Amino acid sequence: MSDGSLSQDEIDALLQGTDNIEMETAESVPSPLSEQEKNVFQNLLKDIIESQSSNLSILTGKTVTIGAPEITLSTRAEIIEQLPDEIIDVKIDFTEGVVGEHSYFLTVESANIIAGLMMGQTGNELDEAALSAVSEAISQVTGSATTAIGNQIGRLLKTSPPDLKKQEKANVRLPQGDNVVSIVYPLSIEGEEPSKLYEVFSLSAVKELVSLAGGAVPEAPSAGEAAAGPEAGASPAFPGNIFGEQGGGMQQTFGQSVGSPGLGPAANPPNVQPVQFANLQQTMSSAEQGNIGLLMDVYMEMTVELGRTKKLIKDILGIGEGTIIELDKLAGEPVDILVNHKLIAKGEVVVIDENFGVRVTEIVSPMERMSDLS
């Protein structure tokens, strides 16, 4: 008869069985990002690579190629481990349409090359002007990306202004949460050593983008929901929420007619709720945006206006060498940027090598441009 003690072989067998149970349990836990969702997201990114490469090529004057993205679901520690010791951290979050944290990371060498080509001053240090040029490049890349993704998911996307910092990799700003979606693009600039462009998304932003693209895996209804059928929610005869918050009188009349004697008693009165209308925005359809693409190679006249003044004819006839003409703008005030003589932006004058240039500081809002037409 056994005294209740276990032999070493029995203990080993129990431990081995526990390991197997733990492994089976771990394997049964679903990934926060399924393979189907990852494939849908990868297809979204593949469709914007060409436009991003084209934008960088235009800005730098060199052929820039961005390769196919490699997407992984990583922890914060894993992302930091793969980054170089010093990095250019550009935080540019999604703020409208889809909300979530988002950043780009560039190597210092790549940022220096891009800034040098944009400014015509290769080999310089990454000073404030160079970092501003890199910020503009990332802004252009993000702009084309959000437009292209927005077209695919049928929603207008907006981002925050780029917030650029040069810092150690341990201090990079990563999305909150245990899991972060990391994307690595091979980056090739004509005449330079190949490099990498890093991009990170919060997991919630990626899942929302995938869901809007129609790639989310639908959750199976519970047994209670399946048994309840359509009567558990809104009435099948009145799908959705059909009465607005401002239609209180209409809602009241409907409620009275259902319970009126002429219609008989209502055993299951419909669940009437106010509808939530989306904000009305002027957006272009995909067909309209496609038509705009036909005009992308059309030249338009862009001028920078330092200022204006009015003079009598006698004063104009008296202008000669050395005459000083006082303008209506104060020193240091932004200059006007016009396209086909229409004001679109304001900026500050800069010097690039021996040429003048303008750094855009403000985009004139559509409402201001419309008011000029009236």
The per-residue pLDDT for 7 is 72
Q: What is the pTM of this model?
A: 0.52
Could you say which of 183, 212, 241 is where a domain stops?
Answer: 212
Q: How far apart are the first and last CA of the chain?
A: 103
The per-residue pLDDT for 189 is 92
343 shares a domain with 195:
no
173 shares a domain with 57:
yes
Does any domain span residue 252? no
CATH code assigned at 152? 3.40.1550.10
169 shares a domain with 42:
yes
Could you say which of 155, 183, 212 is where a domain stops?
Answer: 212
The per-residue pLDDT for 355 is 85
> What is d(CA 308, CA 324) in angstroms, rounded to the nearest whole number?
13
47 shares a domain with 184:
yes
148 shares a domain with 43:
yes
Count up the domains in the chain and report the number: 2
187 shares a domain with 41:
yes
The per-residue pLDDT for 231 is 44
Q: Which domain holds residue 193?
A: 35-212
The per-residue pLDDT for 85 is 92
> What is d(CA 159, CA 79) in angstroms, rounded to the nearest whole number?
23
Could you say which of 168, 183, 212 is where a domain stops?
Answer: 212
Beta-bridge partner residues of 175: none
Phi then psi dihedrals of residue 6, to 5 deg = -105, 140
The per-residue pLDDT for 332 is 81
The per-residue pLDDT for 50 is 85
CATH code assigned at 309? 2.30.330.10
Give pLDDT tens digits along the chain (374 positions): 455 566 776 666 666 655 554 554 444 455 688 888 888 888 888 878 888 888 888 888 889 999 999 999 989 899 999 999 999 999 999 999 999 999 999 999 999 899 888 888 766 677 888 888 888 888 888 888 888 888 888 888 999 988 999 999 899 999 988 889 999 999 999 989 999 999 999 999 999 999 998 865 444 444 444 444 444 444 444 344 433 444 444 444 334 444 444 444 445 666 665 655 555 545 555 555 556 667 777 888 899 998 889 989 988 888 888 889 988 888 888 999 998 888 889 998 888 877 888 999 888 887 776 666 55
Does any domain span residue 348? yes
Does any domain span residue 359? yes
72 shares a domain with 177:
yes
Does any domain span residue 282? no
Does any domain span residue 283? no
% of the chain beyond a pLDDT of 90: 22
Does any domain span residue 52? yes
Does any domain span residue 56? yes
177 shares a domain with 315:
no
Does any domain span residue 230? no
